[in-house]
Each structure stands twice: as C-alpha cells, then as structure tokens.
C-alpha cells in the first residue's frame, strides 16, 4: 500500500516517531515542532500501513476543539471517515463510557452533567442544608476542595481530618454533596473521570473488554495529565496496550489545577522499554528567540532535555525594555504596535502577555486613548452565558425532573413571584423527605404549607414544566428548543434589557436554536444509539461549557495571560511585568517546583513569538492598589547576552554585551560612568549608563543590595561616594 502521503510531509524526526515499532512510545515535542501532525500521521500510519482496525484505536486530548480538529485531519489524510475510531477529551470519553455502562456504574440512565456554575449552586445548597455560614464556608472554596480530591481519586471515605476542624467540615460538605448528587442523578466534571476509573476497578471483566479493544492509546499534551487521568490511562493500558504519548515537560504550566509534570518525566520508569523521540526542529520562531528560550529553560532541573532549532535565520534580537513605571511600559508597547501597523502589519499580529489579569487595565486604558482596537482573550463562552444557561436549564429539568440545580436556576427565572422564603420551604420539604426539589415542590402544593399567593406561583411553574415536557415530546431537537423559548418567555424577558447587551442576549438565544439545528448526535456505538438527541445535546453543551473557545475577531490587538497563550502564536509578542514577585510570582519564589513551573510559563510565553519578542519590566509598579519599587525578574538575568538588545526610554538600543566605559557624561549631573554613588534607600552602587540631559536625565545604577535600577536624576537622591 502506498503510504507516501503519510510520510512525505514529515521531517526525519517526525517520520521516525510516526513509524515507531509496536510498543510504548514517548514523543518529546518542543514548541512549534509539529506535535499534532505527528499524532495525526501516527494514527493514519497505524490504520494504513499496520492494518490496525479503527475500532482498536483511542486518541485522547484535552479540548473538544482539539479533538474535532484531530478527527478532521485524520479523515482528510485517510480520504475517508474514520469510522469506529474513538477521538475525544478525557471527560468526553469517560462520559461515553458511563452512558454505555450506566447500570454497572450505578447511575440513573438519564443522569445529567453539572457544569461549574451549577455545581457551585449545588454546593451552596448543601452548605445551607448543613446550617453553615456561607461567609465562613464559601461555596467556591468547598467546590474547589471537592474537585481537587476527585482529581486525586479520593472519596470522603478516603479522607481523614486528623484533628483539623476546617478539614473535618470540608469532608462533611463533600460527603453531603455526594449524597445530593446521587439523589438528584447528577454528575459533575471531576466525577466523570473518577466514576469511569472506579467502574473499571470494580468491574474487571468490563475493563478486560476495553483492554482487548484498545490496543493503541494515543495521548496529546501528556504533560498536562492529572492524577486520576494518569491512573485511568495506566489501568486501560494494562499489560498489552501500547501507549503513544506526545508532550513537552518544558510546557507543563498547569500544576495549579492538578497537572503533574512527573507523569511525563517518569513515563519510561512506569512503562519499560519505551522508545523516546525528540522533535526539536521549530517551524515557528526565529533563531534568537529559540536561543533565548533554550538558555532560559536549561536552568530547570529534572528536564528530559531537548534543544529547539530552526533552519531560518537568527532574526531580530530579543528586546528587553526597562520602563520607569507601568504607564511607561504600556506606552512603549502600544507605540511599538502602532509602528508595526504603520509599517504595513496588522493589529492581530500582536499579543500582549502578562502573568496577572490585573495587569491588563493599564494596557486597555492606553489602547483606548490611542484608538487602537483590542480584545481581552478568554471572555464568556457561548454555553456559559447567562441566557443560554437559563434556556438549557429548562430543557434539563424537562428531561430529568430530579435535576435540582436546574430547578433552582429557573424556578423564578423569568420572575414569577417565587421568593426566597417560598424556595426555602420547598428546599426544607425536599431535605426532610429525602426528595428532589421537584418532588418537594409537589409536596408543598399537596399539603398547602404556604399561603395562597406562593402556592399559585409554584403551581404556575409546575404547569409550565408539565406542558413543556408534553409539548416537546416527539419534536425535532431545534423545535424542542424553539418551543421551550416560547413557553418559558425567556425572549420576552431579555427583550426588556435595553441596548447592546439585551440585543446580544436575544441573538444568543437565536443561535441556540441554530446550534440545535446543526447538532449531530454521535453517541452511537456499534450502530446502536446510546442516548436520545436532547440528552446528547445537553451533555454536549455541558462538556463544551467546561473549556475555552477563542472568540472570533477581525483585526485586534490581543491581550491575555501567559497561561491563556499556550497553543497560540503571533508575529510580535510582548511579555510584560518581568519583575521579581510578579513574574516569577511571589508565591512561587521559595518553592523550587513552583519556581520551575514559572520558568516553564516564561518559556511558553517566549516561544509564542514568530519574529519579534519583547520582554519588559518597570522600575516601580502600581498594582493591586499599591505602588512598589521592583527588581528585574531573575529570568532576564538567565538570558544569553548574544541574542539580546536593551531598549531605552528614548528608543535607543544597546547590545547587552556592551561594556560601560568611564567618561564624563553630563555637566549638570557631574557624574561619570563607573563612579560609585550612594542612594538613601537602595544603598551603595556603581553608575553603569546615562540617558538624556538636565534634570530629566536617567541614570542606571548597579546597587549592591537590590541590583540594577534606572532612576530619573531629578528624583534620584544620589550622592557621590
């Protein structure tokens, strides 16, 4: 069989990885080295050259968008549909397993998925039922605790308080929350993976079926796996499964949400006889950018090791801009962007990256002042928007009356006269009787435990939901959504919200109907439909709401955190706020593991740039309401001088390797380069450089205690030693 179309587009290292012999394989894929291409071509190679059935291949990634793109590229390469090939996210595949084996997993057949916001509502309800003060026991904190334990594979029965009152209460909240979810037929995101892992542990015969089926397991972004994901992979692989893991330990930046870089570092120990391939040829960045990034990341210990290179030239030097303050920094960045556009470039060639979201304010202010269009990356996603969540809650409750989270969300949305006191009575009846909210509501109506006005309001909601459930039965999915919008009067409700915001909400509701029209129910296994179209659509919406989708824009400067930038690339990148305490973050400085993750984050930011990379820091910065004098980030000191140029306030540049010489620089200042000086706050130092003239000149001093600083001479309070 001719496989030239699979191998010809690859370089030598990619080709070796794609054609790796049967067995465990680890591909260390550097930034911009074509890792997705290798995964896609490996799958095509297995199917075309090795004769592996699509039925025996499982490919796992981290976002629905990535999974969709992967399947599309596989089918394009094959020239035909991929058939029974499983391609999906960890959560999506776990969800598929639980739908197929709901009985074995001890779940109701029509279980619903809680997204993050509805999960927080459920946790808040549990906290109230326990009679706890929400100011002390914040639902968001309890939600984080529960999800973190699930990501570690731990149930409440696995946890011990060891005399810690806070921990004891958190375990109790976790325990009651689990009971609530069982009672309501609800599954949160973290539960999907934990329950799928437990399903295999408790049903070894079922596990054996999937181990025999999936002889080839391919995993993208392997460095981002958390504890339960890694355990799930190892269990599925067993003794016979062959894992093809693609990742980069140098780009592991999600430790704060459970990712464990040691999984990729220890892969060869856990899976003996692993073949290791390194993808080091970079197709994105210029040589100077790669040299700087390679030198920076080499300061991390425990690396598996690789060195990015490019066939392109060295390109422009990496710029370091030393700003006086955050305003100076923002003006320099925005002026540089304007110069790029004036020279024929586009605004969306440019990305401004920062460690903290709070840093965006000053950039936005300057961009607005200069009339430059911009977008802060990572706004609310479609299925997270308020009006969409309201609409889906109606459909969820119609589909599953046990869904308490949806019932709570829409019982008075749009407002129908059901206040907090009425809702509290419904909650109490449900809690005391061990019922769902919907059942508690019927109990209140039957026993008339409220006044006539409240009972009428509750009855109108019940009548509405009963009619909705009846009317949508048998309709096409889009017609179900349209009928829900008609009966719920959500359109009329949001029509009252005037201006752009109200108009956007109405357009989003219309788009929900369009989404239903084009939705394809792919929950099919061996020709058998696993769930009805509405249930599949609701599950799809919940899964989509849990991950990022880039907004569409025309030509805007893009602002984003360094974490958000992973996977993206731009012609010109500005990494701002390169100061100790800000980047690396102050909470990471004293912990080697966290400091190394901060360095990896810097590496990721630097390798987003294709042609020009600028790193900036300020002498002083007002952030979080305080103004502080700062020190340059240690990461700047770790960069090689041969590919760096220092950019000054007046726009001049100085190669980093240039040595200062002793000479008279300004009659007014009466100071010389190399002269020793004393500052009343920073102590003794040596003059390294000088810019401008008169009172507004700037002088660069290397202080013995605090490092190098640029000072405005008028305010510097310097004395010759």
pLDDT tens per residue across span 561-579: 899 899 899 999 999 999 9
- Is residue 453 domain-shared with residue 571, that is, in the same domain? no
Domain extent at residue 473: 382-545
Examine the pLDDT at 650 and tell me if it is beyond 60: no
| Domain count within the chain | 5
- Is residue 566 domain-shared with residue 652, that is, in the same domain? yes
Residue 105 lies in a domain: no
Which runs of consecutive H residues, i.e. helices, occur in 354-415?
360-369, 386-399, 404-410
* pLDDT digits 0-9 by tens, 214-229: 999 999 999 999 999 9
- Is residue 417 domain-shared with residue 528, that is, in the same domain? yes
Q: What percent of the chain has pLDDT over 70?
A: 89
Within a 10 A sphere around the Cβ of 661, how many other Cβ atoms? 8
- Is residue 329 domain-shared with residue 412, that is, in the same domain? no
- Is residue 371 domain-shared with residue 246, that is, in the same domain? no
- CA-CA distances (angstroms) from residue 311 to 44, 152, 248, 280, 286? 27, 43, 21, 11, 9
Examine the pLDDT at 658 and tell me if it is beyond 50: no
* pLDDT digits 0-9 by tens, 78-93: 888 877 899 999 999 9
The domain that contains 249 carries what CATH number? 3.40.50.300
Task: State mean pLDDT over 390-406.
Answer: 94
Residue 624: pLDDT band (50, 70, 90) is low
What is the value of pTM for the model shown?
Answer: 0.74
Residue 303 lies in a domain: yes
Rounded to an integer, what distance in angstroms lies between the CA atom of residue 192 and that of residue 90? 9
Task: State mean pLDDT over 472-490.
Answer: 93
Strand 683-691 relative to strand 676-679: parallel, antiparallel, unpaired?
antiparallel
pLDDT value for 545: 60
Rounded to an integer, what distance in angstroms lies between the CA atom of residue 326 and that of residue 32? 31
Of 61-70, 97-106, 503-512, the one with minimum mean pLDDT is: 503-512
Select from 517, 545, 573 the last residue of a domain: 545
Residue 532 lies in a domain: yes
Which active-site residues does the annotation give? 35-36, 220-221, 251, 608
The distance of Cα 69 from the centroid of its chain, to the nearest Å, equals 18
Within a 10 A sphere around the Cβ of 277, how many other Cβ atoms? 18
Computed over every residue of the chain, the mean pLDDT equals 87
pLDDT value for 196: 96
Rounded to an integer, what distance in angstroms lies between the CA atom of residue 400 and that of residue 644? 61
Select from 495, 529, 545 the last residue of a domain: 545
Residue 695 lies in a domain: yes
- CA-CA distances (angstroms) from residue 162 to 137, 154, 175, 619? 19, 16, 17, 47
Select from 545, 561, 577 the last residue of a domain: 545
* pLDDT digits 0-9 by tens, 141-169: 899 999 999 999 999 999 998 889 999 99
pLDDT value for 73: 93
93 or 648, which is more confident: 93
- Is residue 228 domain-shared with residue 305, that is, in the same domain? no
Rounded to an integer, what distance in angstroms lies between the CA atom of residue 387 and that of residue 505? 6
- Is residue 557 domain-shared with residue 645, that is, in the same domain? yes
The domain that contains 685 carries what CATH number? 2.30.30.390
Rounded to an integer, what distance in angstroms lies between the CA atom of residue 80 and that of residue 44? 11
Residue 553: pLDDT band (50, 70, 90) is low
- Is residue 505 domain-shared with residue 419, that is, in the same domain? yes
The domain that contains 539 carries what CATH number? 1.10.486.10
The distance of Cα 86 from the centroid of its chain, to the nearest Å, equals 23
The domain that contains 160 carries what CATH number? 1.10.10.160
pLDDT value for 659: 34
Closest CA to 548 of 152, 226, 89, 143: 89
- Is residue 262 domain-shared with residue 296, that is, in the same domain? no
Rounded to an integer, what distance in angstroms lies between the CA atom of residue 105 and that of residue 198? 8
Q: Residue for token digits 């459970």?
A: 258
Q: Mean pLDDT highest for which of 58-72, 171-185, 515-529, 651-665?
A: 171-185
Residue 120 lies in a domain: yes
* pLDDT digits 0-9 by tens, 322-346: 998 888 999 999 999 999 999 999 9
Examine the pLDDT at 715 and tell me if it is beyond 60: no
Residue 383: pLDDT band (50, 70, 90) is confident
Strand 275-279 relative to strand 25-29: parallel, antiparallel, unpaired?
parallel
Residue 106 lies in a domain: no
Examine the pLDDT at 530 and tell me if it is beyond 70: no
pLDDT value for 665: 34
* pLDDT digits 0-9 by tens, 67-77: 988 999 999 99
* Strand, helix or coil for residue 259: coil
Rounded to an integer, what distance in angstroms lies between the CA atom of residue 237 and that of residue 59? 13
Residue 298 lies in a domain: yes
Q: 239: which DSSP letter?
A: T
Residue 467 lies in a domain: yes
Rounded to an integer, what distance in angstroms lies between the CA atom of residue 134 and that of residue 118? 17
- Is residue 691 domain-shared with residue 666, that is, in the same domain? yes
- Is residue 152 domain-shared with residue 248, that is, in the same domain? no
Strand 350-354 relative to strand 570-575: parallel, antiparallel, unpaired?
parallel
Closest CA to 551 of 568, 539, 534, 531: 568
Q: 8: which DSSP letter?
A: T
- Is residue 425 domain-shared with residue 454, that is, in the same domain? yes
Rounded to an integer, what distance in angstroms lies between the CA atom of residue 253 and that of residue 58? 25
Are 226 and 242 a contacting pair, CB within 8 Å? no
* pLDDT digits 0-9 by tens, 18-53: 999 989 999 999 999 999 999 999 999 999 999 999
Residue 470: Cβ-neighbour burial (10 angstroms; 0-12, 13-18, 19+): exposed
């Amino acid at each position: 069989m001719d496989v030239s179309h699979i191998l010809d587009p690859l370089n030598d290292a990619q080709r070796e990885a794609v054609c790796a012999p049967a067995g465990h394989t680890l591909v260390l894929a550097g930034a911009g080295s074509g890792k997705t291409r290798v995964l896609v071509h490996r799958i095509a190679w297995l199917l075309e050259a090795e004769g592996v059935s699509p039925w025996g291949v499982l490919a796992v990634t981290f976002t629905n968008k990535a999974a969709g793109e992967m399947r599309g590229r596989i089918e394009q390469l094959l020239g035909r549909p991929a058939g029974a090939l499983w391609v999906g996210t960890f959560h999506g595949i776990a969800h598929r397993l639980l739908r197929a084996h709901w009985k074995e997993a001890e779940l109701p057949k029509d279980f619903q998925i809680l997204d993050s916001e509805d999960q927080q509502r459920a946790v808040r309800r549990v906290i109230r039922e326990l009679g706890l003060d929400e100011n002390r026991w914040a639902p968001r904190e309890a939600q984080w605790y529960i999800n973190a334990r699930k990501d570690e594979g731990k149930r409440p029965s696995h946890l011990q308080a060891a005399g810690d009152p806070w921990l004891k209460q958190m375990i109790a909240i976790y325990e009651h929350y689990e009971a609530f979810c069982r009672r309501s037929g609800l599954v949160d995101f973290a539960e999907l993976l934990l329950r799928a892992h437990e399903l295999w542990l408790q049903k070894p015969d079922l596990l054996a079926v999937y181990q025999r089926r999936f002889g080839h397991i391919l995993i993208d972004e392997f460095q981002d796996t958390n504890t339960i994901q890694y355990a799930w992979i190892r269990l599925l692989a067993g003794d016979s499964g062959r894992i093809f893991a693609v990742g980069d330990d140098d780009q592991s930046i999600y430790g704060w949400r459970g990712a464990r870089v040691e999984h990729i570092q220890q892969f060869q120990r856990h899976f003996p006889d692993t073949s290791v391939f390194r993808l080091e040829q970079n197709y994105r960045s210029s040589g100077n950018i790669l040299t700087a990034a390679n030198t920076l990341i080499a300061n991390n210990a425990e690396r598996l090791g690789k060195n990015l290179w490019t066939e392109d030239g060295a390109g422009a030097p990496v710029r370091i801009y030393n700003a006086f303050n955050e305003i100076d920094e923002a003006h320099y960045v925005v002026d540089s962007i304007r110069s790029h556009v004036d020279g024929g470039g586009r605004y969306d060639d440019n990305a401004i990256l920062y460690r903290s979201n709070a840093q965006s304010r000053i950039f936005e202010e300057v961009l607005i002042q200069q009339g430059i269009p911009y977008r802060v990356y990572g706004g609310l996603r479609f299925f997270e928007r308020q009006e969409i969540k309201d609409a889906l809650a109606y459909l969820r409750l119609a589909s599953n009356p046990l869904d308490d989270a949806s019932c709570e969300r829409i019982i008075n949305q749009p407002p129908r006269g059901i206040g907090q006191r009425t809702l509290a009575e419904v909650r109490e009846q449900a809690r005391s009787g061990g019922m769902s909210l919907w059942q508690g509501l019927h109990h209140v109506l039957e026993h008339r435990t409220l006044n006539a006005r409240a009972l009428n309001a509750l009855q109108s909601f019940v009548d509405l939901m009963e009619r909705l459930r009846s009317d949508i039965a048998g309709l096409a999915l889009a017609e179900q959504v349209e009928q829900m919008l008609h009966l719920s009067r959500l359109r009329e409700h949001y029509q009252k919200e005037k201006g752009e915001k109200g108009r956007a909400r109405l357009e989003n509701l219309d788009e929900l109907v369009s989404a239903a029209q084009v939705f394809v129910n792919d929950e099919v296994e061996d020709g058998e439909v696993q769930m009805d179209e509405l249930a599949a659509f609701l599950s799809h919406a919940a899964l989509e709401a849990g991950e990022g989708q880039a907004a569409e824009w025309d030509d805007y400067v893009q602002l984003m955190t360094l974490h958000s930038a992973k996977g993206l690339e731009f012609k010109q990148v500005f990494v701002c706020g390169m100061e100790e305490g800000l980047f690396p973050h102050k909470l990471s400085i004293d912990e080697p593991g966290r400091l190394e993750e901060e360095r990896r984050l810097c590496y990721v930011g630097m390798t987003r740039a294709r042609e020009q990379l600028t790193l900036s820091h300020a002498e002083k910065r007002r952030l979080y309401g305080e103004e502080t004098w700062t020190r340059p980030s240690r990461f700047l000191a770790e960069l090689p001088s041969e590919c760096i140029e220092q950019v000054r306030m007046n726009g001049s540049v100085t190669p980093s390797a240039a040595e200062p010489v002793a000479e008279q620089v300004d009659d007014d200042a009466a100071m010389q380069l190399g002269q020793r000086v004393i500052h009343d706050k920073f102590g003794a130092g040596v003059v390294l450089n000088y810019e401008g003239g008169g009172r507004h000149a700037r002088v660069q001093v290397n202080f013995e205690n605090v490092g190098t600083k640029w000072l405005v001479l008028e305010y510097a309070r310097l004395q010759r030693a």
